[in-house]
A and B are shown apart, each in its own frame.
Chain A
Amino acid sequence: MFTIVKKESMADDTVILNEIEAPRIAAKARPGQFVILKANETGERIPLTISDLDAARGTITVIYMVVGKSTALFKTLEEGDAYQDVIGPLGKPTDIEKLGKVVCVGGGTGVAVLFPITRGFKEAGNEVVSIIGARNKDLLILEDKMRAASDTLHVCTDDGSYGHKGFVTEVLKEVLDSQKVDLVVAIGPVPMMKFVSKLTYEYNVKTLVSLNPIMIDGTGMCGGCRVSVGGETRFACVDGPEFDGHKVDYDGLMQRLNAYAKEEKAAYDEYCRLRGI
Chain B
Amino acid sequence: MTGKAAKKEKIPRQPMPEQAADVRRRNFKEVPMGYSPETAITEAKRCLQCKKPACVTGCPVQIDIPGFIQQVAAGDFAAASQTIWGKNTLPAICGRVCPQEIQCEGECILGKKDEPVAIGNLERFVADFSREQDTGELPEKAASTGKKVAVVGSGPSGLTVAGDLLLKGHDVTMLEAFHKPGGVLVYGIPEFRLPKDIVASEVAALERLGLRIECNSVVGRTVSVDELFEEGYDAVYIGVGAGLPKFLNISGENLIGIYSANEYLTRANLMKGYLFPEYDTPLAKGKNVAVLGAGNVAMDSARTAMRLGAEQVRIVYRRSREEMPARAAEIHHAEEEGIEFYLLTNPIRFIGDDEGRVVQMECLQMELGEPDESGRRRPIPIEGSEFLLDCDLAVVAVGASANPLLTQSDPEIQLNRWGYIIADPKTGKTTKKGVWAGGDIVTGQATVILAMGAGRVAADSIHDYLTIGW
Taking a contact as CB atoms under 8 Å apart, the answer to whether A252 and B222 are in contact is no
CB neighbours of B272 from chain A (8 A): 42
One of A85-93, A124-132, A141-149, A175-183 at the interface? A85-93
One of A166-174, A197-205, A213-221 at the interface? A213-221
Taking a contact as CB atoms under 8 Å apart, the answer to whether B244 and A220 are in contact is yes
B256, CB-defined interface residue at 8 Å: yes
* Nearest chain B CB to A92 CB, angstrom units: 10
Q: Which of A38, A224, A255 touches B179 (beta carbons < 8 Å)?
A: A38
A119, CB-defined interface residue at 8 Å: no
Taking a contact as CB atoms under 8 Å apart, the answer to whether B179 and A85 are in contact is yes
CA distance A107 to B313 in the complex (A): 43
CB neighbours of A258 from chain B (8 A): 256, 355
Taking a contact as CB atoms under 8 Å apart, the answer to whether B178 and A217 are in contact is yes
Taking a contact as CB atoms under 8 Å apart, the answer to whether A233 and B215 are in contact is no
Given contacts A24-B222, A88-B221, A258-B256, contact A221 B282 (CB under 8 A): no
Residues of A within 8 A of B (CB): 24-25, 28, 38, 42-45, 69-70, 73, 84-90, 216-224, 226-228, 233, 238, 252, 255-256, 258-260, 263-264, 266-267, 270
**CB within 8 Å of A: which of B110-164?**
none
**CB within 8 Å of A: which of B399-446?**
403-405
One of B99-107, B193-201, B263-271, B457-465 at the interface? B263-271
* Nearest chain A CB to B186 CB, angstrom units: 13
Taking a contact as CB atoms under 8 Å apart, the answer to whether A223 and B222 are in contact is no
Taking a contact as CB atoms under 8 Å apart, the answer to whether A221 and B262 are in contact is yes
B279, CB-defined interface residue at 8 Å: yes
Taking a contact as CB atoms under 8 Å apart, the answer to whether A44 and B355 are in contact is no
CA distance A264 to B280 in the complex (A): 9
CA distance A70 to B271 in the complex (A): 14
Given contacts A38-B179, A216-B266, contact A226 B216 (CB under 8 A): no
B278, CB-defined interface residue at 8 Å: yes
- Size of the B side of the interface (Cβ < 8 Å), in residues, is 40
Taking a contact as CB atoms under 8 Å apart, the answer to whether A24 and B245 are in contact is no
Given contacts A219-B403, A222-B262, A222-B263, contact A252 B356 (CB under 8 A): yes
Taking a contact as CB atoms under 8 Å apart, the answer to whether A233 and B253 are in contact is yes
B21, CB-defined interface residue at 8 Å: no
* Nearest chain A CB to B28 CB, angstrom units: 16
CB neighbours of B263 from chain A (8 A): 216, 222-224
Q: Classify the interface of chain B: helix, strand, loop or mixed.
A: loop
Taking a contact as CB atoms under 8 Å apart, the answer to whether A222 and B177 are in contact is no
Q: Classify the interface of chain A: helix, strand, loop or mixed.
A: mixed
* Nearest chain A CB to B148 CB, angstrom units: 17
Which A-chain residue is minimally distant from B253 (CB atoms)? A233
Given contacts A84-B179, A85-B179, A86-B216, contact A69 B280 (CB under 8 A): yes
Taking a contact as CB atoms under 8 Å apart, the answer to whether A73 and B280 are in contact is yes
CA distance A88 to B277 in the complex (A): 26
Given contacts A44-B271, A221-B244, contact A255 B177 (CB under 8 A): no
**CB within 8 Å of A: which of B175-197?**
177-179
Taking a contact as CB atoms under 8 Å apart, the answer to whether B245 and A221 are in contact is yes
Which B-chain residue is minimally distant from A89 (CB atoms)? B221
B466, CB-defined interface residue at 8 Å: no
CA distance A20 to B278 in the complex (A): 26
Which B-chain residue is minimally distant from A33 (CB atoms)? B221
Taking a contact as CB atoms under 8 Å apart, the answer to whether A263 and B223 are in contact is no
Taking a contact as CB atoms under 8 Å apart, the answer to whether B266 and A238 are in contact is no
Taking a contact as CB atoms under 8 Å apart, the answer to whether B277 and A220 are in contact is no
CB neighbours of B257 from chain A (8 A): 259
CB neighbours of B244 from chain A (8 A): 220-221
B288, CB-defined interface residue at 8 Å: no
Taking a contact as CB atoms under 8 Å apart, the answer to whether B222 and A263 are in contact is no
Given contacts A87-B177, A220-B405, contact A43 B280 (CB under 8 A): yes
